[in-house]
Amino acid sequence: MGGGGGGAEEGVEEPSMVRACIVRAGGTNCDGETKVALEEAGAEVELVHFRRVLERGLRGCEVLVIPGGFSFGDRVRAGAILGKELAGRMLSALKDFVEDGGAILGICNGFQVLVEAGLLPGFRWGEVQAALALNDSARFECRWTYLRVENGGKCLFTRGMGRGEVVRMPVAHAEGKFLFPAGREREYLRRLLEKDQLVFRYCDGKGRPAGGRYPLNPNGSFFDIAGICDPTGRIMGMMPHPERAVFGWQLPDWTKGESPPLWGDGRKIFSSLVKELR
């Protein structure tokens, strides 16, 4: 990728661009914002229809992103059709991709897809071990939420943040209630915590857990879970939308201060990803 001006010093190799692939399907509607967010962080981005991904695989790609929206109209369940397509036709290829150093990010509908495909929480590869169910409010929730970073450094998407840090991002979903199988909640939560896979929890502005209280927890998620990663830390899914909180002017109260913030908290996720892959 060329650029104007001086260029690299002689004998110093410039870092290569991180190459990201954003999957499109009928109903996805956040691919454009996600592309802008990744490009701002320094990635080279391609929007690819999922049929082409199935045909050509992930050659030349270091990051696979499944964006928000309503893939295939969320028929059957949110994310179910795309999740089963990926699991049925690319499960081994996705495992190889991650083991070779690739990363996968699922945002909102993308999180639902990764859960349906058996990639998250990923205790056993390809086995569905969680669900994202209908919100307790039984309606579409579109609001800004506070999140507390719970990950201690395993997740490459949050290495630019500190454990306990409070960030703010919006949610926009009807099926975001994270659940483990009935009767196995404590066992699976223990495994999630032991493996440092809990990434985000809904909280209040001071970082205190939401405790299931609406609207701090907008969907009724178990243990206020808003985002998790797999045991490798290279696959992450989250219900809030970081691509809608990259620039200061996207924030709901950006006009209140004398000097609006330049960036939003969502930028940290994309910047951390690109930095780690470089």
29, 145, 162, 231: CA torsion to nearest 10: -60
Nearest to 142 by CA among 108, 167, 105, 106: 108
List the alpha helices (DSSP H) in 72-173: 80-99, 109-116
Annotated active-site residue 243? The verdict is yes
Cis before 170? omega within 30 = no
Catalytic residue among 62, 150, 175, 243: 243
Q: Across the chain, where does the E strand assignment appear? A: 18-24, 43-49, 63-66, 103-107, 131-133, 141-149, 166-173, 177-179, 198-203, 225-229, 235-238
Catalytic residue among 155, 173, 203, 241: 241
| Pairing relationship of beta strands 166-173 and 131-133 according to DSSP bridges | unpaired
Nearest to 129 by CA among 76, 179, 176, 74: 179
Annotated active-site residue 108? The verdict is yes
Catalytic residue among 21, 61, 108, 203: 108
Annotated active-site residue 241? The verdict is yes
Q: Rounded to 5 degrees, what are φ and ψ at 144?
A: -85, 140
What residues pair up with 143 in beta bridges, in sequence order? 171
List the alpha helices (DSSP H) in the chain: 31-40, 50-56, 80-99, 109-116, 185-194, 266-277
| Residues that are catalytic | 108, 241, 243
